């Protein structure tokens, strides 16, 4: 039998890889998906987005139960967590969706090959070969590299039962009594939020001057206020000097901005200081692919400097490491390989979402970035405390902040902290994508009573015309 030559071989089955594989199949290409792990889905499905959001939902329900009295529901004060059930529910959700991916691969005629994939060099006789450990090579006209990322560790540390990354912390045998989180980006604040809700004593240490340092400054301030209120001990501008094991857990020496060294002890420590691209041993050096610190450069169609080799997802230079970025890059690469229309990603139209309590979301420029770029800006801000749906759901924290161009009303950025912020941001992304102005959105009818009205009020407030404040 003649050897199969695929139209595209995709290395890695995370959001970037599986989306590219499905879209390639839908567009009539013959795809092959190579995955080194046991299951399909990558970081996002197996040890990232999905399991964390499952736990966050448990945390939310538990918080509501603890506040039962306020809603006229008696007897919920003593609600107890059943950790085994919480874990198995999370695992079932993950399993359901990884099986869903296996089904989608069959549906879209994607051949799945298990093993570690490596590039072997440029095209020979029109064909690229991916070496797969433990198997024969996969031949394809094009390759998409979608190998994702893994948690960075601090020097001298290795993950174990006390020093955790996103992987270990998702399968703890019991809820720790105390936890130190190093890093206050999305991963760090989400786990801090989860475990605080689960009655764990949480301390968060961030080296930069604020929590969620990539967000608009006002959102960082509001999160700090909220975390302090919840009893999450949050230190920013904190330099971690030493992490050592103690008899029963770990101890961290750190220096906050006041220069007075402090020591905190806890049962566990989560290291959430960023993610490194998985490109060290995939054979980049055998190609013309350009990379810096492991992050790969591509053109707007996700093609690297090596003709026929594309790259998507967390390994891409200059893009945020987010599942929805990987999804879209995968779709763009597959469409481009199929010769079908696609639209390059616009770096400025990518929603950022952090699912801690209170939730955070944003798109476009922060106020500071817009001012730095020399824009004459007008700000519209609307607090959830004045939104009737927020009163109904008993969640009054936070606000919507709109950054707009003063002259033309162009929406430059939208920043939300508060209830369902991560659901609400899609409207802002769509509006900005369609180049809607503040004036357009002021005449867009929003349903009542909804949280999305806070977005409407925020928009109106750019002109000082919000009805509700």
Ligand X SMILES: Cc1cc2nc3c(=O)[nH]c(=O)nc-3n(C[C@H](O)[C@H](O)[C@H](O)COP(=O)(O)OP(=O)(O)OC[C@H]3O[C@@H](n4cnc5c(N)ncnc54)[C@H](O)[C@@H]3O)c2cc1C
- Which residues bind to ligand X, rule: CB under 6 A? 11-17, 34-37, 42-44, 48-49, 52, 116-117, 146-149, 166, 187, 278, 282, 313-314, 321-324, 326, 355
Q: How far is the CB of 36 from ligand X (least distance, A)?
A: 4
Q: Which of 103, 93, 137 is nearest to 119 (CA)?
A: 137
Cβ closer to ligand X: 169 or 342?
169
| C-alpha torsion 80→83→85→89, nearest 10 | 120
Tally of CB atoms within 10 A around 435: 9
Q: How far is the CB of 317 from ligand X (least distance, A)?
A: 13
Catalytic option among 64, 396, 446, 448: 448
What tokens does 372 get? 């730095």
Q: Which of 415, 429, 421 is nearest to 393 (CA)?
A: 421
Q: How far is the CB of 170 from ligand X (least distance, A)?
A: 8
Cβ closer to ligand X: 36 or 141?
36
Q: How far is the CB of 260 from ligand X (least distance, A)?
A: 32
What tokens does 364 get? 């476009």
Q: How far is the CB of 239 from ligand X (least distance, A)?
A: 24
Half-sphere exposure of 101 (CA within 13 A, CB side): 25
Residue 392: helix, strand or coil by DSSP?
A: helix
Cβ closer to ligand X: 86 or 459?
86
| DSSP character at residue 46 | I
Q: Contact 206/184 with Cβ under 8 angstroms?
A: yes
Q: How far is the CB of 116 from ligand X (least distance, A)?
A: 5
What tokens does 265 get? 């002890």
Q: How far is the CB of 156 from ligand X (least distance, A)?
A: 22
Residue 68: helix, strand or coil by DSSP?
A: helix
Number of continuous H segments (helices) and E segments (strands) in the chain: 12, 24
- CA distances in angstroms from 185 to 55, 345, 416, listed in the order given: 18, 23, 16
Cβ closer to ligand X: 48 or 364?
48
Q: How far is the CB of 32 from ligand X (least distance, A)?
A: 12
Q: What is the 3-state secondary structure (H, E, C) of 327-356?
A: HHHHHHHHHHHHCCCCCCCCHHHCCEEECC
Q: Contact 62/198 with Cβ under 8 angstroms?
A: yes
Q: Contact 168/147 with Cβ under 8 angstroms?
A: no
Verify whether residue 336 is a known catalytic residue.
no
Cβ closer to ligand X: 119 or 402?
119
Helix or strand (DSSP H, E) at 132: strand 128-132
Tally of CB atoms within 10 A around 77: 10
Helix or strand (DSSP H, E) at 411: strand 411-417
Spatial separation of the C-alpha atoms in residues 418 and 427, rounded to whole Å: 16
Cβ closer to ligand X: 351 or 413?
351
| DSSP character at residue 69 | G
Tally of CB atoms within 10 A around 260: 7
Cβ closer to ligand X: 47 or 441?
47
Cβ closer to ligand X: 38 or 435?
38
The residues that are catalytic are 448
């Amino acid at each position: 039998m003649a050897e199969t030559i695929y139209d595209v071989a995709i290395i890695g089955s995370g959001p970037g890889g599986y989306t590219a594989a499905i879209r390639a199949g839908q567009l009539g290409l013959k795809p092959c998906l190579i995955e080194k792990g046991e299951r399909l889905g990558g970081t996002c499905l197996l040890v990232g987005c999905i399991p964390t959001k499952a736990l966050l939902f448990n945390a939310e329900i538990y918080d509501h139960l603890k506040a039962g009295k306020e809603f006229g529901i008696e007897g919920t004060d003593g609600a107890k967590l059943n950790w085994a059930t919480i874990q198995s529910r999370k695992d079932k959700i993950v399993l359901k969706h990884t099986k869903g991916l296996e089904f989608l691969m069959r549906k879209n005629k994607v051949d799945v090959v298990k093993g570690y994939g490596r590039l072997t060099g440029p095209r020979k006789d029109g064909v690229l070969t991916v070496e797969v450990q433990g198997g024969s090579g996969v031949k394809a006209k094009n390759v998409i590299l979608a190998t994702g990322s893994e948690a960075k560790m601090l020097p001298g540390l290795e993950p174990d039962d006390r020093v955790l990354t996103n992987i270990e912390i998702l399968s703890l045998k019991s809820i720790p009594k105390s936890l130190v989180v190093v890093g206050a980006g999305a991963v760090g604040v989400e786990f801090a939020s989860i475990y605080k809700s689960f009655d764990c004593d949480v301390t968060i240490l961030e080296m930069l001057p604020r929590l969620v340092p990539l967000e608009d400054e006002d959102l960082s301030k509001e999160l700090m206020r909220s975390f302090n209120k919840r009893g999450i001990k949050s230190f920013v501008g904190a330099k971690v000097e030493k992490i050592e094991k103690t008899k029963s857990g770990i101890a961290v020496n750190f220096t906050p901005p006041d220069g007075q060294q402090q020591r905190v002890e806890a049962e566990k420590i989560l290291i959430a200081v960023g993610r490194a691209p998985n490109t060290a041993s995939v054979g980049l050096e055998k190609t013309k692919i350009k990379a810096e610190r492991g992050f790969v450069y591509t053109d707007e169609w996700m093609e690297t400097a090596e003709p026929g080799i594309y790259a998507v997802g967390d390994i891409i230079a200059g893009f945020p490491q987010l599942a929805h970025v990987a999804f879209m890059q995968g779709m763009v690469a597959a469409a481009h390989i199929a010769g079908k229309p696609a639209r390059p990603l616009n770096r400025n139209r990518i929603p950022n979402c952090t699912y801690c309590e209170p939730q955070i979301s944003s798109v476009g420029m922060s106020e500071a970035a817009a001012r730095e770029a020399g824009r004459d800006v007008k700000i519209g801000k609307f607090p959830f405390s004045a939104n009737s749906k927020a009163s109904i759901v008993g969640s009054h924290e936070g606000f919507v902040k709109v950054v707009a161009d003063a002259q033309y009303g162009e929406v430059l950025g939208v920043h939300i902290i508060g209830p369902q912020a991560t659901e609400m941001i899609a409207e802002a992304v769509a509006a900005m994508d369609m180049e809607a102005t503040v004036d357009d959105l002021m005449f867009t009818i929003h349903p009542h009573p909804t949280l999305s009205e806070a977005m409407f009020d925020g928009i109106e407030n750019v002109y000082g015309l919000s009805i509700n404040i």
